[in-house]
Amino acid sequence: MTAEPRQVIKQNLEIARRILFIFEIKRRLDELPPIFGGILSEIRRTLSSRVDDIKVASLPLVLVFVASCLENYLKEITPAKKRIVI
């Protein structure tokens, strides 16, 4: 495997990992009891809602993206004559 495709795959998986990390932070914030009321509570609800919207839109894309990265990696490490045709 050349260095270039491996580096691209590594960078792509890092992007996916960061997106999933944001979703995990949001989940943990939602589990915390509200400490401050008023405007901070409203900001928290708005932020939570926006991240939920982003998650609904992007999570399927992230999963497809990771599967695509895995597929490309397997193509690189598998010799052409041993590839399985589906």
Q: For residue range 52-66, what is the model confidence (pLDDT) as tens digits?
A: 888 888 888 888 888
Statement: residue 81 has pLDDT above 80: no
Please state, in angstroms and rounded to a whole number, the distance separating the CA atoms of residues 76 and 73.
Answer: 5
In eight-state DSSP terms, residue 86 is -
Distances (CA, A) of 69 to 14, 52, 73, 82: 11, 25, 6, 19
In eight-state DSSP terms, residue 83 is P
Please state, in angstroms and rounded to a whole number, the distance separating the CA atoms of residues 18 and 53.
Answer: 17
DSSP string, 36-77: S-THHHHHHHHHHHHHHHHHHHHHHHHHHHHHHHHHHHHHHH
pLDDT band at 1 (very low <50, low <70, confident <90, very high): very low
Domain ranges of the chain: 3-75
Q: For residue range 11-40, what is the model confidence (pLDDT) as tens digits?
A: 878 888 888 888 888 788 777 777 766 777
pLDDT at position 84 is 61
